[in-house]
Chains A and B, each alone.
Chain A
Amino acid sequence: MNYELMVIFTPVLSEEDYKVAQKKFADIIKDNGGEVTHENPWGLRSLAYPIQKKTTGMYLVLEYTAPSDLNEKLKIQLNRDENVLRHMVTALDKYAVIYNNRKRHGANTDSKTVEA
């Protein structure tokens, strides 16, 4: 099953802390039997509304395939990590996966025509 994890970190994080945090979650997925298909850090972005009194956040999108029990472990880590403001794991159906690869390979983002 492929999933997509989206995490918002506190903006106070420096560049390499951000990298370390990214690697940390990627490693959790790897050593629990999942494998990361794509890692897409958005970096600093302003939030639509303040979360925990902060108006900007460091976004990270991780797309991965994993056995179904991995998300539980992931959630524990995410809740324990204090510089994670908010996280969301979404399951991707086959159209979502097609959409994501098309978007990565420069096809038009609105996936006007879907060949598959």
Chain B
Amino acid sequence: MAVKQEIKYLTAVKTEKRQKKYCRFKKMGIRYVDYKDGEFLKKFLNDQGKMLPRRITGNSLKFQRKVAQAIKKARQLALLPYVTDLLK
């Protein structure tokens, strides 16, 4: 029986290395998420205006909460829509 590692495939097994996610706030030393800055907050919304989850934005828990608070404040002040289509 062929030993497992001796098996050769015709085409190389493609395992593309997924780029390690990082928290942009920690990396760039941002300490405060400004709720007035709509453009910056839009990066954390999908095109329906809904908040992106942490596994997609790659934020750390602490900053994901700060971003969530800032987005809710911005929505309250009509800087960001609650729901829309083709936000970007």
Contact = CB atoms under 8 A, between A and B. Distances in A.
B35 to A, nearest CB: 7
Interface string B25-69: 000111110111100100000000000000000000000000000
Nearest to B40: A110
Contacts of A15: none
A34 interface: no
A37 interface: no
Nearest to A93: B32
Interface residues of B, number: 20
Contacts of A11: none
Interface in A64-114: 86, 88, 90, 93, 95-96, 98-99, 103, 109-114
A48 B80 CA distance: 6
30 contacts: A8-B78, A48-B79, A48-B82, A49-B81, A57-B78, A61-B36, A86-B76, A86-B77, A86-B78, A88-B73, A88-B76, A90-B73, A93-B32, A95-B31, A96-B34, A98-B31, A99-B31, A99-B34, A109-B37, A110-B28, A110-B30, A111-B29, A111-B30, A111-B32, A112-B29, A112-B30, A113-B28, A113-B29, A114-B30, A114-B31
